[in-house]
Amino acid sequence: MKNLIASGLSLIAMLLIVGCGSNEKRTPQEYNNELMTIINGNEQEISKMNAAMTASNYDQATIVQKEWSAAVDRDIKKVDSIGAYKDDKQLQEAVLDGLKGYKKIVNEDYPKLIEIRKSNLTDPTGEQQALENINAAFENMANKVNVASDAFEAKHVK
């Protein structure tokens, strides 16, 4: 019985090592696609937030904000655990920076925007500034990730 348990544990350990795989075993396209899928998952959250804000459902927007913040935390952990591709950290770092940018927007700019709209305060400057911060950050993050993705493909896809 002890041998069976020991054999079972050894098998599980070996499967974990082989199953988890390393980035060395992934093709560059698989690695790139995995990271892009993670960061592009935020598009769903953006759509949920836009729907709530357009409907003036600020309670729902607050729920989306909290769920999105938790999702970004999970995404950051995923990208950290994926690691670099053959010691090339450029794409991973760009995606992490993008996710951290989402985190900042979600935790700082959206709550301000929600509060301004929810309270019916006349604060066109504050509202406009929050919107400009959000849009500029989205554009900046997308550009940086796209540049890193293109550079990664140019370097690794032969």
Give the integer Cα–Cα distance in Å for 66 and 49.
11
Would you say 31 and 78 are in contact if contact means Cβ atoms under 8 Å apart? no
Class of residue 68 by CB neighbours under 10 A (exposed 0-12, middle 13-18, buried 19+): buried
pLDDT tens-digit series, residues 100-114:
999 999 999 999 999
pLDDT 10s digit of each residue in the chain, 158 long? 444 444 443 434 333 333 444 556 789 999 999 999 999 999 999 999 999 999 999 999 999 999 999 999 999 999 999 999 999 999 999 999 999 999 999 999 999 999 999 988 777 788 889 999 999 999 999 999 999 999 999 999 87
